[in-house]
Amino acid sequence: MGRRKQPEIRDRILDACVDHALAHGLPDRLEPFATAAGTSTRMLIYHFRTRDALLRETLGRARRRQRDYFGALLAPRPDEDYLSTLRDAWRGMTGPAGRPFLTMFGRLREDSGERLWPGFRRESTTDWLLPLEVGLRSVGRPELATLVLAVIRGLILDIEATGDLTRADQAFDHFLATLSGEPASSP
């Protein structure tokens, strides 16, 4: 007779693995996760069965955290124009709290990530359309959701390639000014 599984321990381990992955990326071996969770690789296998299963669950939990955080940033606020909300959301997504998600899931968009999360590229695009449509509906322009998402994704790729957050921030401000019909302010 084996030991009874303890879901609260498994949950604590998974949270520690997510925290580690967001800070350092997905490890090639289990040892960094074991160290981060204060356990052994044997216990990781006991709770998650395989390395890939643990990686998939780590990605899934990190994605839920990202959806909660980014979703709150993109949610319309009754006392604020939605284009201002988008500007603040952009700063939150690309700032210190949002960057770990962008880095982790940016790597997952590569072909090797498809093995861990088949269909991720499609999902990571389409799951942001509805929140943007809802927000843009508040300014009478829900049809712009795909355009706004494309600009956000393109600028995120630009930041990943160049590291030039200042230039990307300016470009996003210019884009929002174009949407509002106002001239963009200069830095």
Exposure pattern of 77-103 as b/e (b: 16+ CB <10 Å)? eeeeebbebbbebbebbbeeebbbbbb
Per-residue model confidence (pLDDT) at position 110: 66
* Domain locations in the chain as residue ranges: 7-180
Give the Cα separation of 3 and 5 in Å (integer). Answer: 6
Q: Which two tokens stand for residue 155?
A: 């600028």
Give the Cα separation of 79 and 63 in Å (integer). Answer: 29
Per-residue model confidence (pLDDT) at position 32: 97
Per-residue model confidence (pLDDT) at position 4: 72
Q: Which two tokens stand for residue 31?
A: 């040892």
Say which CATH architecture domain 7-180 belongs to.
Orthogonal Bundle (1.10)
DSSP percent split of the chain into helix, strand, coil, nearest 5: 75, 0, 25
Per-residue model confidence (pLDDT) at position 3: 66
- Each residue's pLDDT, cut to its tens digit, for the chain (187 residues) gives 456 778 899 999 999 999 999 999 999 999 999 999 999 999 999 999 999 999 999 999 999 999 999 999 999 999 999 999 999 999 999 999 999 999 998 887 665 667 888 888 888 888 899 999 999 999 999 999 999 999 999 999 999 999 999 999 999 999 999 998 776 565 5
